[in-house]
Structure 1
Amino acid sequence: MKVNRCKLAILLASLMLMACGEKEKSIIGKGNGFSGEIKVNVITKGDKIENLELVSDNETSHIMSRSFPILKDRILKAQSPIVDSVSGATYTSLGVKRAVAAALKEGGKDFGRITVKTAGPEQPVAYLEPVSTDLVIVGGGPAGLAAAISAKEAGLNNIILIEKLDILSGNGKYDMNFYDLINSEAEKKAGVEDSVEKLIADNTNWMDTPERTRAQAEGASKLDSWLREMGVKLNHYYGKRGHMAEKDAYAGEEVQDGMEAKAKSLGIDIRTGTKGTDLIVENGAIKGVKVQNGNNFYDIKAKAVVMATGGFSSNKELLAKYSPGTEKLQTSNQLGATGDFIPVFEENNMQLANLDELNLFPFIVRTTRDLTGGGDGFMLVNAKGERFLNENISKNDRFKAAQTILAQPDGKAFYIYDQALYEASYRLQKHTAKGYHVKADTLEELAQKLGVPADKLVATRDHFNKAIRGEEEDPFRAKPFKREFRTEGPFYGVQVESAVHMTRGGVVANEKTEVLDVEGNVVPGVFAAGEVTNSSAAYSAAVIFGRIAGENAVKFINQQ
């Protein structure tokens, strides 16, 4: 058969062009996230997105490390940046999606403007068949993960943990400190003699029963060894039972990364993006949870339930209801802390207490909501460069201080400090390195960068020092700081305000974490741990009572 040479040449040329068109391309795209620019390398082959690589970012590491793999998977499956953001990482997601869209536009494919509202196609509503398990845990923060791990270690195999956000670990992953830990390797190395009885004496308070205080103390004495068994090492002890991973490493990342890895290695069924909406109640006993995943609705039937849903620091309506005025403040807590089950507890006659009790944190970075500050030796000034309150804010004065800050001209307040305080605080060093805080060689230069009158700020510093020396009266302090503010730079500053850090009140649980009804009786089948409960304690206690909840839920199940 004769072949037309001309047609053959054309065919071969076309095949060669097609082959050339299928070569991989790498394009760097840029987009702004929560804390600055995000660069992503988008690798394409023809019209197909082959891969995404994170090149650089300034986001919080424990948010980016959890959210980027999820976004990458969604974008590759959709072959588009028009996908749902990762809940719990909204602005980080926005930056990644914008970076991908920018790269694809440069490559010739325009997906239009990406905004915070950009989402994937809405899925149809579906009501799925019920799922059965032995134990369901609602909430994937410190308490929920600890409950899941301890239940598995107690011999229970069928466990489902649900978390309404797309990422785990709640507010714990942000924490610098891990307080009230005793009998730790770091404490022993520092030569500290501590005991359960000493911790009980120090922690006895009006909110917690003596039985719960003892349970927390006994749990605290075993906690360090339990964490180390899963590779979590809190090696830096800095006094008053405070621990960090290292002198320059936060505790929260270490603890939460370790617990997440442990829970996954144990094969626990973890369902993120899955929100608990109601309890399943049969004859007065809790028999599971109704859940929602996107537009999929189904029941998880279980022999026991552990509630670890956190507090309601991010719910303005509940804050206004239980602690009027605090709804005007920002929160330093994660945005999933919305108190979803408070109405459910009320409807089922479960006891709630002290919902008006909050922990306010004096200073957060205005733009990023990070807790900031580093101890005594700083000045708090307004936009006029003038001090306006006692910087040494007591717990009882925090709400008043928060209102006073908001009442300043333009609502601005600046945390000003010198090199001595910078060197004494890793938190301040970290925030400066990330660009959250402004640095300047002179106080005048710092004033200019912050938009504060330089002459006023210098005069305020001079008066501050004279008051410490006793040469002038200080209208704001009964007892001024002992250390003078340095006259030589460098100097640092950041705009701050106060914030709702966590809620203290919640559903009432006993020392076994069993939930009580309004008459003080145990509600069969439901346990609670962490910030969802009525408790004065915080991070380490969430892990301790999470362990107790997991262990006692297994005992309850085994008795059925």
Structure 2
Amino acid sequence: MKKWIPTVLAAAMALSLLSGCGAKKELADVVVVGAGGAGLAAAVRAQEEGANVIVLEKMPIVGGNTARATGGLNAAGTKQQIDKGFKDSVKLFYEDTMKGGYKKNNPELVKLLTEQAKDSVEWLENYGADMSDVGRMAGASVNRTHRPAGGAAVGSHIAMVLEKTAKEKNIDVRTRHQMTDILIDKDGAVTGITAKDKEGKEYTIQTKAVVLATGGFSANQEMVISYKPELKGFATTNHPGATGDAITIAEKHGAALIDMAEIQTHPTVVPEKGVMVTEAVRGNGAILVNKSGERFVNELLTRDVVSKAILGQQDGRAYLLFDKGLRDSLKATEEYFKMQLVTEAESVEALAEKLGIEKAVLANTVGNYNKGVKAGKDGQFQRPDLPRELKDGPFYAIEVTPAVHHTMGGLKINTDAEVLNKDGQAIKGLYAAGEVTGGVHGGNRLGGNALADIITFGKIAGLNAFNHVKAEQ
């Protein structure tokens, strides 16, 4: 790939410049704010073109919520699907995503996502990611969720691959450095950012392109309830840095927001622990039972529907029930055992006793489900995918309840990942990708679409940020 040698910004290679006795000033071609999956993807993509990139991450480590993602990355038409005999198409992927978002999604953004997610899988593989396993998440018509072999947790793997790649490319990634403002000139174009380093010292980075990739605001309870009061008191699955800072800063400079009240709860989160149990557990065949030992919902309905169903049960809680066969099929489950979140027993009846459930009721529930698996039809709740019977002991249960998981709303962007102002015009030099944006997921995000979103739009933002800087020289 042809490398671009900066001209005006060549002096940036000397790193910092001092202006009198004032705050330190630096130069960069592209500044990326946030070192989760979207930010690292943007940084790597810009650097591929030869850009000098600085990445700021306010937390002590990189990865953000990406490092917590366990399910997978949705993509259609991949070689993995073809090799495994899963028939999929971009059209079907698009339809599932629009349906899952209650058609509140921006169709142009969804079209781009579903067309380019396949390329995102291949791009990650080129840097050493293992995306060989293909499963199914709720709301998908076919298996399209890509993850490491054996169903291992995908997010931490992707974060590790991108972090390693950034290091190999000598990208300047600074942890515990926080953006405090975006600098915009009288013509409405980005000229840089201000930031604080790990000692709290202020400095400025001059740049003509900023990519915001700071994630959503699920960990900001005040901001959450300002848009959705009924979520007051809900825990969150997000890391503590997901507080929406960049959204607030960009809005101050005229950025438009979209879908801010569209806030998703994840149905299977361990109470008091805040640990999310990946949707892939249900996708691989687990069932949900209430405290009476009965199923009460099609486990593969969308997250909002399943969350509401759980909240309608006694104490607003349920048990995710599975067996050794499922555990062996999904390496991601091992983390829950290490964290001692699982109740286990050699038989369904013994598990019922440990959970305080009537033995006959739970045994009957599992038995009826297994009959449905054998018949290829769930007569009780019309679950569309029945991958396995639950018959191989030991048997396991994890208590779960919904928690705030994903904020579908955020900065309004176009298909070039440019941030738009309230008049629908692009703010020159300002880009955004991932959960900091809105419009991609509409009223509900499908499991597996977040990673597709952050990698696909992260790459788009990084490339277009570079192209903007190049055009300005």
1:355 aligned residue (255, 260, 276): 260
Distance (whole Å) between structure 2 residues aligned to residue 301 and residue 526 of structure 1? 13
Asked whether 1:241 is paired with 2:148, we answer no
**Correspondence for 1:130:** 25
| Other structure's SS at 1:414 match | strand
Distance (whole Å) between structure 2 residues aligned to residue 216 and residue 558 of structure 1? 25
Alpha carbons of 1:466 and 1:494: their partners in 2 closer, same or farther (altered >3 Å)? closer
Distance (whole Å) between structure 2 residues aligned to residue 340 and residue 549 of structure 1? 19
**Correspondence for 1:222:** 119
Alpha carbons of 1:188 and 1:344: their partners in 2 closer, same or farther (altered >3 Å)? same
Q: Deviations over 1:378-432 (max 9, x none)?
A: 34233xx554843637334245335335x61xx6543334445445544445523
Question: 1:369: Cα distance to partner?
Answer: 0.9
Q: Deviations over 1:465-497 (max 9, x none)?
A: 586679xxxxxx962778998688432122221
Q: Deviations over 1:227-258 (max 9, x none)?
A: 22212231112352111111142222332211
TM-score by length of 1: 0.68
**Correspondence for 2:18:** none
Alpha carbons of 1:443 and 1:154: their partners in 2 closer, same or farther (altered >3 Å)? same
8 Å CA contact 1:402–1:499 kept in 2: the answer is no
Asked whether 1:187 is paired with 2:81, we answer yes
Distance (whole Å) between structure 2 residues aligned to residue 263 and residue 555 of structure 1? 20
**Correspondence for 2:60:** 166
Q: Which has the higher contact order (CA 8 A, sep 6+)?
A: 2
**Correspondence for 1:291:** 195
| Other structure's SS at 2:312 match | helix
Distance (whole Å) between structure 2 residues aligned to residue 242 and residue 501 of structure 1? 19
Structure 2, unaligned runs of 5 or more? 1-20, 136-141, 373-378, 442-448
Alpha carbons of 1:187 and 1:412: their partners in 2 closer, same or farther (altered >3 Å)? closer
Distance (whole Å) between structure 2 residues aligned to residue 147 and residue 363 of structure 1? 31
| Other structure's SS at 1:498 match | strand
8 Å CA contact 2:255–2:421 kept in 1: the answer is yes
Asked whether 1:306 is paired with 2:211, we answer yes
Asked whether 1:542 is paired with 2:454, we answer yes
2:231 aligned residue (326, 336, 353): 326
Asked whether 1:479 is paired with 2:387, we answer no
Which structure has the bigger radius of gyration? 1
Q: Deviations over 1:488-517 (max 9, x none)?
A: 843212222112221111100000001111
Question: 1:221: Cα distance to partner?
Answer: 3.1
Provide the alpha-carbon RMSD of the alignment. Answer: 3.0
| Other structure's SS at 2:435 match | coil
Structure 1, unaligned runs of 5 or more? 1-125, 471-476
**Correspondence for 1:176:** 70
Alpha carbons of 1:524 and 1:261: their partners in 2 closer, same or farther (altered >3 Å)? same
**Correspondence for 2:11:** none
Question: 1:144: Cα distance to partner?
Answer: 0.6
Question: 1:264: Cα distance to partner?
Answer: 1.1
1:461 aligned residue (327, 349, 362): 362
8 Å CA contact 1:417–1:485 kept in 2: the answer is no
8 Å CA contact 1:131–1:299 kept in 2: the answer is yes
8 Å CA contact 1:183–1:224 kept in 2: the answer is no
Alpha carbons of 1:334 and 1:210: their partners in 2 closer, same or farther (altered >3 Å)? same
Report which stretch shifted further, 535-544 or 314-323: 535-544
Aligned pair count reads 419
**Correspondence for 1:34:** none
Question: 1:440: Cα distance to partner?
Answer: 1.4
**Correspondence for 1:390:** 297
Distance (whole Å) between structure 2 residues aligned to residue 437 and residue 431 of structure 1? 7
Q: Sequence identity, in percent?
A: 30
Question: 1:322: Cα distance to partner?
Answer: 0.9
2:39 aligned residue (144, 154, 157): 144
**Correspondence for 1:261:** 164
8 Å CA contact 1:360–1:500 kept in 2: the answer is yes
Question: 1:462: Cα distance to partner?
Answer: 4.4
Distance (whole Å) between structure 2 residues aligned to residue 179 and residue 248 of structure 1? 12
Q: Deviations over 1:426-446 (max 9, x none)?
A: 444552355321221244543
Asked whether 1:374 is paired with 2:279, we answer no
| Other structure's SS at 2:149 match | coil
Question: 1:338: Cα distance to partner?
Answer: 0.9
**Correspondence for 1:558:** 470
Q: Deviations over 1:511-550 (max 9, x none)?
A: 0001111110111110010000012141112111111111
Report which stretch shifted further, 496-505 or 389-398: 389-398
Distance (whole Å) between structure 2 residues aligned to residue 554 and residue 486 of structure 1? 52
| Other structure's SS at 2:251 match | helix
TM-score by length of 2: 0.79
